[in-house]
Amino acid sequence: MFDTILFDLDGTLTDPKIGITTCVQYALKALGIIEEDLDKLEPFIGPPLKEQFIKYAGLSEEQAIYALEKYRERFQSTGLYENEIYEGIDGMLNKIKAEGITIGLASSKPTVFCKRILEYFHIEHYFTVIMGSELSGVRSQKAEVIEEALRQLGKQTEPEFKRVIMVGDREHDVFGAHRIGLPCVGVAFGYGGYEELKNAGADCIVATVEELTEVLIKKQLK
């Protein structure tokens, strides 16, 4: 039985594909790397961006930092709003809040952008804690974000952790949750897909927002 849910943002509550991939495309172009197919840039949705620039494009640490700066140059004014909330998310949050469940956000995206996105979709009022990384790069790993969210929620002991679950769409959501000792519900409608979530060891995998709502309302994964 759980009483607190931490949600990932990108690919879990919203579909940010256009905003993220076009901003990545913009950043790579600044380094002379041209990628016309936005589908190929989907791996950037979810994981810490600097790491993905290094992994995807073989950039050096210095180049990745520059790419991240260029990414944010476009993202903060335009890409932030090239985003859509998944159908049924508002209703789901309303239902689980009515059940007395505490809701928090734990995203690898900088906190300042997380807050603006939740406000843009008028769902920020559901969240007791909104936690992300810092623009400086501090707290970029998922486990670190989850730990800080739990600290701000006043949950810092193992018995308290047993009443918290993570919900996300990528393997790093699962790995981060498990590192802290939390179970993780994987959402296959996001960008990781069923196989990635299964291989990562997600404790439960759902295919739709409706199925996710049903699992969360029951307040238990089994």
Half-sphere exposure of 166 (CA within 13 A, CB side): 35
CB 208 within 8 A of CB 188: no
Mean pLDDT of 172-177: 97
For the structural domain made of 17-81, what CATH number should be given?
1.10.150.240
Compute the distance between CA of residue 91 and CA of residue 27 in angstroms, rounded to an integer: 36
Question: Choosing from 8, 10, 15, 173, which is the catalytic residue?
Answer: 8
Mean pLDDT of 198-222: 94
pLDDT, residue 140, reads: 81
Q: Is the pLDDT of residue 219 over 90?
A: no
pLDDT band at 158 (very low <50, low <70, confident <90, very high): confident
Mean pLDDT of 5-21: 97
Q: Is the pLDDT of residue 222 over 80?
A: no
Q: Is the pLDDT of residue 22 over 90?
A: yes
Compute the distance between CA of residue 72 and CA of residue 74 in angstroms, rounded to an integer: 5
Q: Is the pLDDT of residue 181 over 90?
A: yes
Mean pLDDT of 34-51: 92
pLDDT band at 156 (very low <50, low <70, confident <90, very high): confident
Map out the domains of the chain as residue ranges. 4-15+85-218, 17-81
The vertex-173 CA angle with 147 and 178, nearest 5°, equals 60
Compute the distance between CA of residue 207 and CA of residue 198 in angstroms, rounded to an integer: 12
90 is catalytic: no
CATH class for the region spanning 4-15+85-218: alpha beta
Average pLDDT, the chain: 95
Mean pLDDT of 30-59: 92
**pLDDT per position as a tens digit, 110-141:** 999 999 999 999 999 999 999 999 988 788 89
Compute the distance between CA of residue 181 and CA of residue 89 in angstroms, rounded to an integer: 26
Q: Is the pLDDT of residue 19 over 80?
A: yes
pLDDT, residue 220, reads: 81
pLDDT, residue 137, reads: 75
